[in-house]
Amino acid sequence: MAILGALNPMLSVGLDGDNAWRLADYVKRGGYTALRRILEEKLPQGDVINEVKKSVLRGRGGAGFPTGLKWSFMPRSFPGDKYVVCNSDEGEPGTFKDRDILRYNPHSVIEGMAIAAYAMGAARGYNYIHGEVWEIYQRFEEALDEARAAGFLGSDLLGSGFNFDLFAHHGYGAYICGEETALLESIEGKKGQPRFKPPFPASFGLYGKPTTINNTETFASIPYIINLGGETYLEAGKANNGGTKLFSVSGHVNRPGNYEIPLGTPFATLLEMAGGMRGGRQLKACIPGGSSAPVVPAAAMMDCTMDYDSISKAGSMLGSGAVIVMDETTCMVKALERLSFFYYEESCGQCTPCREGTSWLYKVVHRIEHGKGRPDDLDLLSSVTTNIMGRTICALGDAASMPVQSFIKHFRDEFAYHIEHRKCLVPVDVQRAGSGFFTATV
């Protein structure tokens, strides 16, 4: 993938594929000026946090929690270590933006983390990069070496007396390690299993110390906020949805890839940037925020603008900004089967409803897809999802349930047809034609 297009971009300005990721290129683009200014002017920590608050930067990892507010939860006068942690464990199906940020603009993340560490008084940071992107982990290590050599990391940054050490840590590919407390456990060398909250990481995080965890894109946006000022950043997007965002568009479009657009841009514009629907087919449905977000049918989706509030009004979530586009050749049962398999596979197995429930969901959807559905299966599925949702330690249980609920809600007929006729409503040859992979006809 690559960053294929942008509207009024910030993060992707001046990027030139693999040729502009080095420190020198970043500095040429104006990099590290924000950090330098903060350190030279000895900007009060509160001012930095206020600037981020003003920008209404919302967490880019999926939950959309205001970043400035999160930073202000860190205890100010804690004696001892505090940590900032970057969550680059980008495991959500459909999401592939963080790896491009780390690949093409790694120094923006380093600078953002250093600013965050300054604002929260942390002296140590970790960037947890997921296991499947080894070459990106290696590139980030290289970028770290550059930053250390240039004095942007280490002790006494640019002679300011502020110390910040940053380390990269690569995972081994478990989706659950993208959950912030599981990620902390994993850094600590334990099995990646989410912790029960409270206590929250801001009071009991990495090694039991106050810790703030933000997404890669969130950290990458920080230098731009400091440079432009919070208000200007906010205005780049729309009210309550500050700035621009990278969207990973995949599925039945002509040009799948990452696109940076201001929040509030109409979905239709994004779809157009991505080259429109493949083969000129009709949009059937769209998952607007990564596989955990509820599916939105075509009509509702076309009315949406790409921001937290509009998508939420349509009954889904902006999530991580992974836009999965499905056209009319898609069998919704098969699509759900694949999604359910993912959550069943990736449940950490720690708490009962998720461990047992996700496998049950998958087994039932699998059965329906394979012509062995029972009349009461749809009620069973919705009952099982209610028994999972809100009863688990982390959000994976909810994430596994929401697709099931929304698929059944919007495409109940298709599921009912499957159960009754023991086959797809969308004929198999149509599905294969739409897939773009099958050439033979049935």
d(C-alpha 284, C-alpha 240), whole Å: 29
Query: How far, in whole angstroms, is CA 249 from its chain's centroid?
Result: 13
Report if residue 391 touches another protein, rule: CB under 8 A.
yes
Q: Are 353 and 361 in contact (CB under 8 A)?
A: no
Return the number of the residue (261 or 361) whose C-beta is nearest another protein: 361
**CB closer to another protein, 197 vs 255:** 197
Q: Is 24 in the site for another protein (CB under 8 A)?
A: no
Q: Among residues 191 and 209, whose Cβ is nearest to another protein? A: 191
- For another protein, the binding residue among 160, 163, 232, 352 (CB under 8 A) is 352
Candidates 4-12, 27-35, 250-258, 352-360 — which segment interacts with another protein by CB under 8 A? 352-360
Distance, in Å, from the CA atom of 295 to the CA atom of 378, rounded to the nearest integer, reads 17
- Using the rule CB under 8 A, is 351 a contact of another protein? yes
380 part of the interface to another protein, by CB under 8 A: yes
**H or E segment and range at residue 159:** none
Residue 7 touching another protein (CB under 8 A): no
The residue (of 372 and 421) whose beta carbon lies closer to another protein is 372
Residue 59 tokens read as: 């967490």
Q: Which of 363, 409, 412, 421 binds another protein (CB under 8 A)?
A: 363
Q: Which of 357, 373, 403, 434 binds another protein (CB under 8 A)?
A: 357
Mind spelling out the 3-state secondary structure of 355-422? Answer: HHHHHHHHHHHHHHHCCCCCCCHHHHHHHHHHHHCCCCCCCHHHHHHHHHHHHHHHCHHHHHHHHHHC
Q: Tokens in use for 172?
A: 């081994």
Q: Is 370 one of the binding residues for another protein (CB under 8 A)? A: no
Cα torsion through 399, 400, 403, 407, rounded to 10: -160
Judged by CB under 8 A, the chain residues 286 through 345 that form the site for another protein are 344-345
**CB nearer to another protein: pick between 153 and 364:** 364
Q: Does 350 bind another protein (CB under 8 A)?
A: yes
Q: Considering the complex, what minimum distance in angstroms separates the CB of residue 418 from another protein?
A: 17
Judged by CB under 8 A, the chain residues 245 through 284 that form the site for another protein are none
- Choice between 28 and 363, CB closer to another protein: 363
Name the residue nearer to another protein (CB basis): 335 or 348.
348
Q: Edge-to-edge strands of the sheet including 165-170? A: 165-170, 124-129, 83-88, 211-215
- The residue length of the chain stands at 442
Q: Which stretch binds another protein (CB under 8 A): 87-95, 190-198, 296-304, 326-334?
A: 190-198
x/- track of binding to another protein for residues 151-180 (CB under 8 A): -----------------------x-x----
Output b/e per residue, 298-337; b: 16+ Cβ within 10 A.
bebbeebbbbbbbbbebebbbbbbbbbbbbebbbbbbbbb
Considering beta carbons, is residue 73 or 196 the nearer one to another protein?
A: 196
Beta bridge partners of 249: 257, 323
Say how many residues touch another protein, by CB under 8 A: 33
Q: Which of 347, 378, 407, 415 binds another protein (CB under 8 A)?
A: 347
Least Cβ distance, residue 92 to another protein (angstroms): 17
Residue that is written with structure tokens 């965050």 in the block: 116
- Cβ(123)–Cβ(141) below 8 Å: no
| Tokens encoding 366 | 């699998």
- Residues lying near another protein in the complex (CB under 8 A) are found at 174, 176, 191, 196, 198, 344-353, 355-360, 363-364, 367, 374, 380, 383, 386-387, 390-393
